[in-house]
Structure 1
Amino acid sequence: MNSLQQIAAFADTAKHGSFAAAARGTGSAPSTLAKAVGRLEGRLGVKLFHRTTRQVSLTPDGGRLFRRCQRLLAEVDELQAEAAGVRESPTGTLRVDLPIVLGRRVILPVLARLRRQHPGLELDVRLQDGYADLVKEGIDLAVRAGDLKDSTLVSRRFMAQAMVLVASPAYLQERGTPRRLEQLAQHDALVFRMPTSGKDRPWQFRQRGRALDVHPASGVRISDGEGLVQAALLGMGLAQLPDYFVRDEIGRGELVEVLPALRPAPIPISIVYPGARLVPQRVRVVIDALLTLKG
């Protein structure tokens, strides 16, 4: 059995959790898979699985190999599909990493539509506000907001998010509506604690063509965007959030934008993916769909 077949046997076993289950899924004999994995371990000089009589679990070395080989095997599947002339119908597992709220509200509807159009496309969607290592974790594509620092990734901007300062009508009725930046110090501030750094995100404004950061004193810090929306709805103070977080609430009159003339410049939102000469069709169809979005 060649190296690629050994890697495929290893990946199938890792996905199914046992040689027997992997054998049922692939139509092979459990002993064949076990021997292939054993040869791969011998060739690499590392132990890939902890074995019991009924199941297997990945060792740390096995976990690292599994994350990396998923991309290799997906590329092989893509090449085989292209050679067979079915490249227009993407198949295989698409692994995407998305910010939580943007993913739920904006990106998942796009993925749902693509899934209906391409039943052979499988989705592995990870919702988190931290940054994942795409290559290390075997992720095909991520969506990220703000300036990008990883020069090894290909990036394509597809939309932008406006930051809006909001409060509930009840809060504004009780405390008054600020008309100038200087008046913000008289109000209760709800701030977002950034998960990547643990620091408070400053409020951002643009006045007379200049970008301004305001660091409000706050008794309320929340590390979840939807929690920040809920706190604003409860009348706990002013909060600055991406517009898509609160678009519906503003439309229903549950929240009111404050200082709209001082909105900061929109923050770019980009698609990022590992650089490669061949972009798999399962990735390409998502890129094309996201590039049609406006925001």
Structure 2
Amino acid sequence: MDRILAMQVFTRVVDTNSFTRAAESLGMPRPSVTTIIQNLEAFLGTRLIQRTTRRLSLSPDGAAYYERCQRVLAEIEEIEASFQQVHRQPHGKLRIDMPASIGRLIVIPRLRDFRSKYPEIDLQIGLSDRRVDLLEEGVDCAVRVGALQDSSMVARRVGLIEGATVGSPEYLESMGMPETLEDLERHTAVNYFSSRDGRVIDWSFLENGKEVDVKMKGSISVNDAEAYVSCGLEGFGLIQSPRFMVLQYLCTGQLVEVLPEIKPSPLPISVVYLHSRHLSSKVRVFVDWMAALCESCPLLSGSDRDAQPCVPSVTDVATRHENGSIAELMA
């Protein structure tokens, strides 16, 4: 029996909480995964995984074995990585999850640069505003926006997202231009709610150096970033969006910024990954690449909250609009 392979299969079954998902992530037939676990349990002389119709759970021996497997496999990966860094580039499949807007507008338009640097990494990119479970879904790392809740993950902050409060010209002509935060009480907003718990997310501003939360009234709520911007373009109410998502519409006049002197609180961008995978060279190079990508644009680096060197002229936007590449506009 290949003990290292058995350890890898066992930890992946535990991480994904599924024989089927473990098999898919490892590129193996499901019967092979089942056989390997059965042979491993027979070799060790103990039951590692308790199987029910709905979920898997570790036996006490299984929990102890899992913890030791993590340490052994991490050490093996560290040894291999030390040689790979010298003799070859990072390689293998890298599973990433990120918000759809960041993926479509920021990462994918510049992905050719990553591919040219790391051609041996096979990328599997999930685009969703849903917060995935890295353990259960077999994801190597995820790009997340906002405050982080899960302390079991390793996180590296790679940037800050600048925001903007905007509305359509038609909406502002009908409702008027707010001049203060108090004026927002007579305005309608399109609200954004969390996919995780359904909670409507309050607006947040920085006024005189202090963070101020504002609860906006509105009759439409969505949980998708692109749909959120679309609702703003349709004039259903004010929206508070990442500036990179509304940049082209601000430049063409399809949206107008309100309260430009009272900016929304910036949101941190982080890449999170599992403790057991923190030594992976392919994860490390992706995190470094994301950090460099954010650093290259002030709208994502937080380097200057007042200057806007990424904002192009209306002529530039009209010329480049056919590409739909926000990454080009922000370069």
Is the 1:97–1:132 contact (alpha carbons within 8 Å) kept by the matching residues of 2?
Answer: yes
Query: TM-score, normalised on structure 2?
Result: 0.68
Separation in structure 1 between the aligned mates of residue 174 and residue 195 of structure 2, nearest angstrom: 32
1:85-124 matched pairs, under 5 angstroms:
88-124=88-124
1:166-181 matched pairs, under 5 angstroms:
166-181=166-181
Is 2:152 aligned against 1:152? yes
Is the 1:163–1:240 contact (alpha carbons within 8 Å) kept by the matching residues of 2?
Answer: yes
Closer, same or farther in 2 for the Cα pair 1:168/1:59, shift >3 Å? same
Closer, same or farther in 2 for the Cα pair 1:175/1:277, shift >3 Å? closer
Aligned to 1:186: 186
Which range is displaced more, 177-186 or 78-87?
78-87
Query: What one-letter code is carried by the residue in structure 1 that aligns with 2:114?
Result: L
% identical equivalent positions: 33
Closer, same or farther in 2 for the Cα pair 1:179/1:131, shift >3 Å? same
Closer, same or farther in 2 for the Cα pair 1:118/1:160, shift >3 Å? same
Separation in structure 1 between the aligned mates of residue 121 and residue 239 of structure 2, nearest angstrom: 39
Which range is displaced more, 271-280 or 92-101?
271-280
Render the CA deviation track for 1:182-224: whole Å, top value 9, x for unaligned: 2222222211112122111112222233322111221111111
Separation in structure 2 between the aligned mates of residue 269 and residue 93 of structure 1, nearest angstrom: 23
Query: What one-letter code is carried by the residue in structure 1 that aligns with 2:123?
Result: L
1:1-295 matched pairs, under 5 angstroms:
1-6=1-6, 14-15=23-24, 18=29, 36=36, 38-40=38-40, 42=42, 45=47, 60-61=55-56, 79-80=79-80, 82-83=82-83, 88-275=88-275, 279-292=279-292, 293-294=294-295, 295=300
Separation in structure 1 between the aligned mates of residue 85 and residue 163 of structure 2, nearest angstrom: 45
Is the 1:7–1:37 contact (alpha carbons within 8 Å) kept by the matching residues of 2?
Answer: no
Is the 1:187–1:237 contact (alpha carbons within 8 Å) kept by the matching residues of 2?
Answer: yes
Closer, same or farther in 2 for the Cα pair 1:46/1:89, shift >3 Å? same
Alpha-carbon deviation of 1:79?
Answer: 4.6
Is the 1:77–1:92 contact (alpha carbons within 8 Å) kept by the matching residues of 2?
Answer: no
Separation in structure 2 between the aligned mates of residue 85 and residue 165 of structure 1, nearest angstrom: 45
Query: What one-letter code is carried by the residue in structure 2 that aligns with 1:139?
Result: V
RMSD: 3.7
Aligned to 1:25: none
Separation in structure 2 between the aligned mates of residue 228 and residue 19 of structure 1, nearest angstrom: 40
Separation in structure 2 between the aligned mates of residue 277 and residue 6 of structure 1, nearest angstrom: 17
Alpha-carbon deviation of 1:264?
Answer: 2.8
> 5+ residue gaps in structure 1?
23-32, 50-57
Residues matched between the structures, number: 274
Closer, same or farther in 2 for the Cα pair 1:45/1:235, shift >3 Å? same
Aligned to 2:323: none
Is the 2:161–2:242 contact (alpha carbons within 8 Å) kept by the matching residues of 1?
Answer: yes
Is the 1:229–1:246 contact (alpha carbons within 8 Å) kept by the matching residues of 2?
Answer: yes
Alpha-carbon deviation of 1:148?
Answer: 2.1
Separation in structure 1 between the aligned mates of residue 151 and residue 8 of structure 2, nearest angstrom: 31
Is the 1:110–1:289 contact (alpha carbons within 8 Å) kept by the matching residues of 2?
Answer: no
Alpha-carbon deviation of 1:138?
Answer: 3.4
